[in-house]
Structure 1
Amino acid sequence: MNFQRRITSALLTCAVLAITVLAPLAHAQQAVFRITAIPDESPTELARKAAPLVKYLESKLGVKVEFTPVTDYAASVEALVNKKVDLAWFGGFTFVQAHVRSGGKVIPLVQREEDEKFRSVFITSDPTVKTLADLKGKDVSFGSQSSTSGHLMPRSFLLDQGINPEKAFRRVAYSGAHDATIAAVASGKVQGGALNISVWDKFVADKKVDTSKVRVIYTTPPYYDYNWTVHADMPAALRQKLTDAFLSLSPATPEGKQILELQRATKFVPTKVENYKGIESAARSAELL
């Protein structure tokens, strides 16, 4: 009987030791740092852009990093606000929405240098359209309703010129993404479209659009746009690690060059909430916030 008790006691001790030793290891193995991005381009393009960045962040953070796609812009906001992801690539307007939705509990870390003076373009394939005024009575497409460069800021600049989309255009459409807007204009489904200038420039450079048929009729004034944002509950040390990782990206290294080119960036720079006050004002003026 004593022998059996000793055996049972020994087994229990081993079990406790196993749990004590293995539990932290299991937790460490399960730790995943999740990032997401507004779906402003096709899912395949977003995944292609994310892959080398994920690998780079894994090396800098020392944890597994996963890209978590979302179905729409609102889902990216909810994912970060509810801490389902750790890091989100937002447009200026989506950042403002997340900032308001969270009660100021999200923090923008970095933006591309290009995002300090970002622009949108209006394009057309209709030879009769030369100016924004010529779009009156036509079908015009924006991107997503929550897009900064594909909707909010183009709408804001239209309103500045006395053009109310719902009153001036025959039909207002929402393509959902910048590349989809180009496709809609190129196919003649709409006579005009507004989108992110960097996506337009990329399509032109890659010869994915026939510029003899589709052309820019208006380029907006500059404004602040995209950024990488985290929840304010993220430890300060981890926020700093992330910031340093982005600021360290350099075109002088093969890895940095690949990531920056895919992100359409020359470099990343620090950013702050105050940079997006203009976008918040535009959203409130357009009654979109």
Structure 2
Amino acid sequence: MSCNRYSNTIIFSLEFCERTQGNFVVNRFFVGLVVVISFISISYASERYSFGVVPQQSTSKLVRSWAPIFKYIEQQSGVKLQFATKRNIPTFEEACASADYDFVYMNPYNYVQFHDESGYEAIAKARDKKIKGIIVVRKDSKFKKLKDLSGKKLAFASHLAFGASLIPRNELKKRAVKYTSKYLGSHDLVYSNVAQGNFVAGGGVMRTFQTADPEVRKKLRILWTSKGNTPHAFVAQSRVPKHIVKKVQQVLVSLEQTAQGRTFLNKLKIKGIEVAKNSDWDDIRKLKF
């Protein structure tokens, strides 16, 4: 069932929440973001399940992209989902390590890690898609190749962000490029800070770069792109009843079959979603960082 406690968790309710005796209690129809600071008990109907989304981008952008999908899943399956994320990627990873969420959309490296440590099992992934790490620079930058970044200060989302940090940093290491790192917490912050000239370069992934603020994106260019790896995983925690997991999985993989579902997927830059199994991420397990 949904976790009863959230610390510094950003929660988007699909229904309206009102404050009652220190608790946030589900009322009728939504409309808001609730930022819950410190430990505040959350009460929901027993069948409500939390769905954590990795905060690669700003909370407002995540809400616009994901909340309609969760509402659609609820309408199609009867399973009530609660959107949840964190202010930054490191604290989100801590929540996943503690198995705080019932369902999660997480990066492939985190999946391999938390499958073994926290009981998460893959149920789906993007179809016909590989995650590609990138390094971006300002469009007017003089840098033409990775070697040019030697001795510079680079921005990354977090230490363990797979495509946006581990992959590009590993490539820099293989090419013996010495640099210093600054972890900013999200992909969007990396892109905006590089665009503003606060860093000469930064890591990201192709999908979030394509969905970044157009005003930011037009100031950037991609310096380097990695080979593709198995993308992010849609996962379920082992405590969630199997029939609930199956219902959510069925709606996810059927999204591309309706016009409404395709609209949702287009916002995520995903063509479709397919059933996945644990071994699909064996390519990630073979990587050495």
* Same-fold call, TM cutoff 0.5: yes
Matched, 1:247 2:261: no
Q: Which has the larger radius of gyration?
A: 1
Q: Deviations over 1:227-272 (max 9, x none)?
A: 111112333222222221111112x533212211222210001222
* TM-score of the aligned structures, taking structure 1 as reference length: 0.77
Distance 1:61 1:111 in 2: 19
Look up the equivalent residue of 1:95 and give its one-letter code: Y
Deviation at 1:46, TM superposition (A): 1.1
- Counterpart in 2 of 1:208? 215
**Pick aligned residue for 1:89 from 105, 118, 134:** 105
- Counterpart in 2 of 1:20? none
Q: Please, which moves more after superposition, 216-225 or 268-277?
A: 268-277
Unaligned runs of 5+ in 1: 1-26
Matches within 5 A, 1:93-104: 93-102=109-118
Helix, strand or coil for the counterpart of 1:141? strand
Matches within 5 A, 1:44-59: 44-59=60-75
**Pick aligned residue for 1:262 from 254, 261, 267:** 267
**Pick aligned residue for 2:123 from 109, 113, 121:** 109
- Counterpart in 2 of 1:32? 48
Matched, 1:280 2:289: no
Look up the equivalent residue of 1:41 and give its one-letter code: Q
Conserved? CA contact 1:36–1:85, under 8 Å: yes
Identical residues among aligned pairs (%): 23
Conserved? CA contact 2:135–2:225, under 8 Å: yes
Matches within 5 A, 1:213-228: 213-228=219-234
Distance 1:140 1:79 in 2: 27
Measured at CA, do residues 78 and 235 of structure 1 come closer, stay the same or move farther in structure 2, by a change above 3 Å? farther
Cα RMSD of the aligned pairs, angstroms, is 2.3
Matched, 1:271 2:284: no
Conserved? CA contact 1:260–1:266, under 8 Å: yes
Look up the equivalent residue of 1:119 and give its one-letter code: K
Measured at CA, do residues 201 and 263 of structure 1 come closer, stay the same or move farther in structure 2, by a change above 3 Å? closer
Whose relative contact order is higher, 1 or 2, with alpha carbons under 8 Å and at least 6 apart?
Answer: 1
Distance 2:105 2:217 in 1: 30
* TM-score of the aligned structures, taking structure 2 as reference length: 0.77
- Counterpart in 1 of 2:82? 66
Matched, 1:192 2:206: no
Conserved? CA contact 2:255–2:272, under 8 Å: yes
Conserved? CA contact 2:137–2:201, under 8 Å: yes
Measured at CA, do residues 210 and 92 of structure 1 come closer, stay the same or move farther in structure 2, by a change above 3 Å? closer
Deviation at 1:81, TM superposition (A): 5.4
Conserved? CA contact 2:152–2:200, under 8 Å: yes
**Pick aligned residue for 1:141 from 128, 148, 155:** 155
Look up the equivalent residue of 1:256 and give its one-letter code: G
Conserved? CA contact 2:88–2:186, under 8 Å: no
- Counterpart in 2 of 1:8? none
Deviation at 1:50, TM superposition (A): 1.6
Matched, 1:124 2:137: yes
Unaligned runs of 5+ in 2: 1-42
Conserved? CA contact 2:153–2:199, under 8 Å: yes
Distance 1:155 1:224 in 2: 18
- Structure with the larger strand share: 2
Conserved? CA contact 1:89–1:228, under 8 Å: yes
Measured at CA, do residues 247 and 264 of structure 1 come closer, stay the same or move farther in structure 2, by a change above 3 Å? same
Distance 2:214 2:96 in 1: 35
Measured at CA, do residues 114 and 75 of structure 1 come closer, stay the same or move farther in structure 2, by a change above 3 Å? farther
Instruction: Name segments (4+ residues, structure 1) moved above 6 Å.
Output: none
Deviation at 1:35, TM superposition (A): 0.7
